[in-house]
């Protein structure tokens, strides 16, 4: 499951980054009362709290968040038991960051928002 989960997570991050890139490139989104300024136009009729929430998901911010998640994921790369220079200490696939058997808690937490996705890897 470890590598399946990483592959799955990278696919979701790729999708979100692609979508954010297609929505961005013009500046910051901003909320003003019931209106969200998408910098290419405005859309009114939101509850002010919803407008703030939408503006918070500005594509530039989403892309920064995705890059941060990719760096966390890279730190938690799995060290396969086969070819692991640390053998014979632990004959298992484990996280290079925390030594936990994969997937470690941090990778599981990164994947949690996508748990309802139909391709989410399930434990056998």
Binding site for Zn ion (CB under 5 A): 76, 95, 97-98, 104, 106
Contact 12, 73 (CB under 8 A): no
In the bound state with Zn ion, the residue whose beta carbon lies nearer, of 65 and 93, is 93
CB of 105 to Zn ion, least distance (A): 7
In the bound state with Zn ion, the residue whose beta carbon lies nearer, of 12 and 76, is 76
CA distance 79 to 95: 6
In the bound state with Zn ion, the residue whose beta carbon lies nearer, of 9 and 20, is 9
CA distance 57 to 59: 6
CB of 107 to Zn ion, least distance (A): 6
């Amino acid at each position: 499951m470890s590598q399946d989960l990483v592959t799955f997570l990278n696919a979701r991050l790729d999708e979100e980054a692609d979508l954010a890139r297609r929505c961005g490139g013009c500046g910051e989104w901003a909320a003003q009362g019931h209106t969200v300024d998408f910098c290419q136009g405005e859309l009114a009729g939101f509850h002010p709290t919803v407008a703030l929430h939408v503006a918070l998901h500005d594509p530039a911010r989403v892309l920064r968040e995705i890059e941060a998640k990719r760096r966390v994921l890279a730190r938690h790369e799995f060290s396969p038991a086969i070819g692991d220079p640390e053998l014979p200490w632990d004959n298992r696939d484990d996280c290079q960051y925390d030594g936990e058997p994969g997937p470690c808690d941090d990778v599981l937490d990164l994947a949690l928002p996508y748990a309802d996705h139909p391709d989410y890897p399930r434990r056998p």
